[in-house]
Amino acid sequence: MNRKSHAKINLFLDILKKRSDGFHQIRTIFSEIELFDSITFTLTENNAIKILACKNFIKTEDNLVYKIAFFIQKKYNVRKGVEIKLEKIVPITAGLGGGSSNAAQTILALSELWDLDLSENEKNEIASKFGSDINFFLVGGCALGEGRGEQITPLNDIKINNILLINPGFAISSKEAYEATTISDNENLNWKKLLKTGNIAFCYNKLEETIRERFSEIQNIIKYLQENGVQKAMLSGSGATVIGFCPNYYTANKIANYYSKKGYWNLITKTKRRTK
């Protein structure tokens, strides 16, 4: 079984309050993009769970895909196993949700491969045990995320082309990014305007201000994009990937070439349209 595991960007992200469980109450608008890892799931007759990856980026016992497969196998007393081959393209710890997307595809694939026929509630319960973004990837497309991000409401696609992603090559801890952000008493209501108009001027990331202060290169990238024809530049999730919404492919490609010469990972992409 072969599955595409798409990345995401947050078109809007606001932090509303700190919750009693230690997480933050957020409101976010997720959108999948046309960047994806490829995952192959192969049923095995023994009960072993084996993870193969093109990059030895994480130990098996710490791998989210492995943890979820092991959890499902034990919870539903599955006698068979699986070999999972990950072809990683999405940068890790980059604010693009690569790990969460891989996790969601694992839930969906194993429900079918192991003949479990999991209900939507069961899939979402498993997802919420392992992360806040995984529930979104069970739905995909464009969606509103509330609670700690796991309460998902599907939305109409927001169609955006010529999205330039730039990653300077260092990781930013999501936990540290959230903890360092000052929570305002006033909600940012531009999410409603974004949904109504699809205008990228209303895109927003509450985490960005603090991260720009702490990481000068994030500030430098956003400033360069703003000065070189990008309509809007902002942080993706907790970073360190920066999004540049470009007016055309020419502008996106010109800036991409500049950052390629600097040795920074970059990609021109677009929002993914939900399959009807």
| Structure confidence by residue, pLDDT tens digits, 149-192 | 889 999 999 999 999 999 999 988 877 878 778 787 788 999 99
**Residue 58 pLDDT:** 55
Q: Are the beta carbons of 17 and 183 closer than 8 angstroms?
A: yes
Residue-range domain boundaries for the chain: 2-155, 163-269
By annotation, the residues acting in catalysis are 8, 133
- Which of 142, 109, 141, 137 is closest to 124 using CA atoms? 137
In angstroms, the CA 121 to CA 119 distance is 5
**Residue 274 pLDDT:** 75
| Structure confidence by residue, pLDDT tens digits, 32-89 | 999 999 999 999 999 999 998 865 555 566 789 999 999 999 999 999 999 999 999 9
State the pLDDT confidence band at 6, using cuts at 50, 70 and 90.
Answer: very high
Among the CATH numbers 3.30.360.10, 3.30.230.10, 3.60.15.10, 1.10.10.10, which is that of 2-155? 3.30.230.10
| Structure confidence by residue, pLDDT tens digits, 90-100 | 998 899 999 99
Q: What is the topology classification, in CATH, of domain 163-269?
A: Alpha-Beta Plaits (3.30.70)
Report which of residues 20 and 49 the model is more confident about.
49
Matching residue, tokens 């990972």: 265
∠ CA 164-239-264, rounded to 5°: 50
Give the list of residues 6+ apart from residue 77 with CB closer than 8 angstroms, or none: none
Sheet holding 232-235, edge to edge: 232-235, 242-245, 163-167, 265-269
Q: Which two tokens stand for residue 246?
A: 């470009």
Rounded mean pLDDT of the chain? 92
Region 118-134: mean pLDDT is 95
State the pLDDT confidence band at 216, using cuts at 50, 70 and 90.
Answer: very high
Beta-sheet pairing, 242-245 with 163-167:
antiparallel
Same fold for the pair 2-155 and 163-269: no
In angstroms, the CA 55 to CA 62 distance is 15
- State residue 184 phi and psi, 5-degree precision: -85, 155
